[in-house]
């Protein structure tokens, strides 16, 4: 085979080789492009998922902050309420002690009043009886 025949044969095979090579190259390029498109779709989906996760994280952080604030406010309210209850309990105890002291004083004085009325009636029999002294009754008979 001479160089001319070889060159002529190559001239005939060259377009076929170029076409087959181009087709193979185009197929590989299309496959690479499809792989790239799938990878970009996965990346976009991952970014969307990350965005959703970020939104959920912000919502969770805000919810935690609100709950902490609500707990702090409730603790403050509870402290104020407990202080008021303690103050009212102390005041109620003082009033109860004063009432018991007044009741004891009235009972002691009542005996003296009765004795004084008896002595007064001996001297002045037409002296009127003392007015009634009603104590309010609140259902607590101590």
State the pLDDT at residue 22.
Answer: 78
List, for residues 69-82, the tens digit of each pLDDT value. 999 999 999 999 99
Q: What is the pTM assigned to this prediction?
A: 0.45
Could you give the angle at the alpha carbon of 102 between the alpha carbons of 99 and 108, nearest 5°? 145
Containing 6, the helix (H) or strand (E) segment is: helix 3-123
State the pLDDT at residue 140.
Answer: 56
Regions of the chain with pLDDT less than 70:
1, 3, 6-7, 9-13, 135-142
């Amino acid at each position: 085979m001479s160089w001319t025949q070889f060159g002529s044969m190559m001239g005939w095979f060259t377009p076929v080789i170029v076409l087959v090579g181009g087709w193979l190259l185009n197929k590989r390029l299309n496959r690479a492009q499809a792989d790239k498109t799938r990878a970009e779709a996965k990346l976009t989906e991952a970014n969307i998922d990350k965005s959703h996760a970020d939104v959920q994280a912000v919502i969770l952080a805000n919810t935690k902050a609100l709950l902490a604030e609500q707990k702090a406010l409730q603790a403050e309210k509870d402290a104020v309420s407990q202080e008021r209850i303690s103050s009212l309990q102390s005041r109620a105890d003082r009033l109860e002690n004063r009432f018991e002291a007044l009741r004891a004083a009235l009972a002691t004085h009542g005996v003296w009043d009765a004795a004084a009325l008896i002595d007064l009636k001996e001297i002045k029999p037409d002296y009127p009886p003392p007015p009634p002294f009603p104590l309010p009754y609140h259902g607590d008979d101590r």
